[in-house]
Structure 1
C-alpha cells in the first residue's frame, strides 16, 4: 500500500508541473495551447533516444531542451496572427502531427512499440529505495517549478502577461512586444514540461506515442480549470485532486465488480463531468485567481 501511495505522489507531482506550465500559458497569458503534451514528449523521447543510441544523459538533456525550445518557438510564431480559438486548434494539430511522426518513424523512435529499457534515475539503489528517491526528486522539481512560476508572474513580466491576456492592443500601446511575450512564455513552460517528461521516462522506463495522446492535454486542462486558472496553487490542487480520483477508480471498479476496461472510460467521464460542472457553476475553480497584488519593482 505504501508503494501505491508513493506512486500516486510521483504521478501527481509530474502532472502538477505540467499543470503549472500550462497555467502560465492559459491562466496568465491567455494562450489556448491544446498541444501541451508535445512539450512533455520532448522530455520523454529525448531520454529514450539518448538511451537507444547510447548518446549519454547529457546529450538527452540537450535534445530535450533544444526540441522543447524549437517546438515552443514554432507554436508561438505560428499563432502570432491567429485568434485564441484558431491558435488552439493549430497547436492541437501540430501536437497530433508530432505524435503521428513518432508513431510512423520506426527506424528512429521504435514506432508504435516505443522504446523500452530506459534506466532509472537511481539505478544502483534498491527498488523500494528507488521509488522513494524518485518521489523526492519529483517533489523537488514541483517545488522549484512552483517558486519559479510565482517569481515569473509577480513582477513586470507577469503584469505584461495579464495585460496581454485581457487587452492585447493595450499591451502593445504600453510598449510590450506581445509576440516576444508569447515566445518567452511558451519556451519557459516547455522547458518545465520537458523536465517532467524526463523524470516520467526514467520512472516508467518506457516511452511510446500512446503517452502523447491529445486526451492527456485535456486532462491537464481539466486540472487547471478545476483548480483555478491564473492561480499557481489552484493548478496544484487540480492536479493532485484529479490524480487522487484516478487512483481511487480501480478500487471502485473492484468494489462494483466492473470489467477492467471500464477504468479508462470512468476516468474520462470524471474529467468531463468535472469540467462541465466547474465551467457552468464555478468558472474561477477551487482556488480563484487573486486580483491585483503584482509587484512592479
Structure 2
C-alpha cells in the first residue's frame, strides 16, 4: 500500500508538470495545441538515448529540453499561415508523425519495443526510500514549476499573453509582436513538459512510442478543463482529480469483482463523467482563472 501511494503521487506530479506546460500555451495564450504530448516524448527518449550514449542525466535532460523547444519553435512557425483550429490539427499530425518515426526507427529509439533499462535517478538508495526520494524530487520540481508559472502569468509576459488571447488586434496596436509571444509561450511550455517526460522515463525505466499517443494529450486537456484553464491551482486540482479516478478504479475492481476490461471502461467513464459535470456545473473549471479588473 505504501509503494502504491508513492507511485500514484509520483505519477500525478509528473503529469502535473506536463499539464503546467500545456497551461502556458492553452490557458494563458489560448493556443489549441493537440500535439502537446510530443514534447514529453522527446524528453523521455532523450533520457533513453542519453543513457545509451553514456551521458549524464543532466546532459540527457538538456538534449530533451533542447529538442522540445526546437519542435515548439517549428510548431509556432506553422501558425503564421494557419488559423487556430487548423493549427491545432497540424500539431496533432506532427505528434503522430513523431510517434510513427519512433515506432519505425529502431536503431535510434528501439522501435515498437522502446528503450528499456533506463536507470532510476536514485538507483543506489535502498527500497522504499528510493521511491520516496524520487517523489520528493518530483514534488519539489512541481512546486518550483507552479511558482514560476504563477509569476509568469501574473507578470508582464502573462498579461501580454492574455491580451493576445482576448483581444489580438488590441495587442498588436499596443506594440506586441504576436508571433514572438506565441513562440515564447510554446517553447516555454515545451521545456516544462520535456522535463516531465524525462522524469517519467527515469521513473518507469522505459521510453516508448506509447508515450506519445494522442489520448495522452487529451488527458492533459481534460485535467485543465476540470481544474480551470489559465489557473495554476486549477491545473493541480484537475490533475489530482483525474489521478484519483485512476487510483480508485482498481480498488472498485477488487471489491466488485469485475474484470480488467470493465475496469478500463469504468476509468474512462468516471473521468468523462467528472469532465461532463464540470462543464455543466462550472464551465470555466473548479478554480477558474482570476483576472484583475480595473475599477
Give the shorter-chain TM-score range.
over 0.9
Structure 1 length normalisation: TM-score?
0.95
Alignment of 1:111-190 (within 5 A): 111-190=111-190
Deviation per CA, 1:67-122, whole angstroms, max 9, x where unpaired?
01111101111112322211111111111111111001111111110111011101
Structure 2 length normalisation: TM-score?
0.96
Distance 1:81-1:280 versus aligned 2 partners, 3 A rule: farther
Distance 1:27 1:6 in 2: 29
Deviation per CA, 1:225-281, whole angstroms, max 9, x where unpaired?
000111110000000111011111111112221111233322222233333332333
Q: SS at 2:79's partner residue?
A: helix
Distance 1:293 1:198 in 2: 39
Distance 2:105 2:56 in 1: 22
Q: For the Cα contact (< 8 Å) 1:118–1:202, is it kept in 2? A: yes
Counterpart of 1:67? 67
Shift of 1:293: 6.3
Shift of 1:60: 0.9
Structure 1 segments of 4 or more deviating over 6 A? none
Counterpart of 1:94? 94
Distance 1:293 1:223 in 2: 27
Shift of 1:55: 3.2
Unaligned runs of 5+ in 2: none
Distance 1:293 1:38 in 2: 36
Distance 2:264 2:100 in 1: 22
Counterpart of 2:108? 108
Deviation per CA, 1:196-227, whole angstroms, max 9, x where unpaired?
11111111101111121110111100000000
Instruction: Out of 58-67 and 249-258, give the one that drifted further.
Output: 58-67
Instruction: Out of 64-73 and 231-240, give the one that drifted further.
Output: 64-73
Shift of 1:289: 1.1
Unaligned runs of 5+ in 1: none
Alignment of 1:189-204 (within 5 A): 189-204=189-204
Q: SS at 1:261's partner residue?
A: helix
Q: SS at 2:33's partner residue?
A: coil
Q: For the Cα contact (< 8 Å) 1:222–1:274, is it kept in 2? A: no
Pair 1:23 & 2:23 matched? yes
Aligned length: 294
Counterpart of 1:267? 267
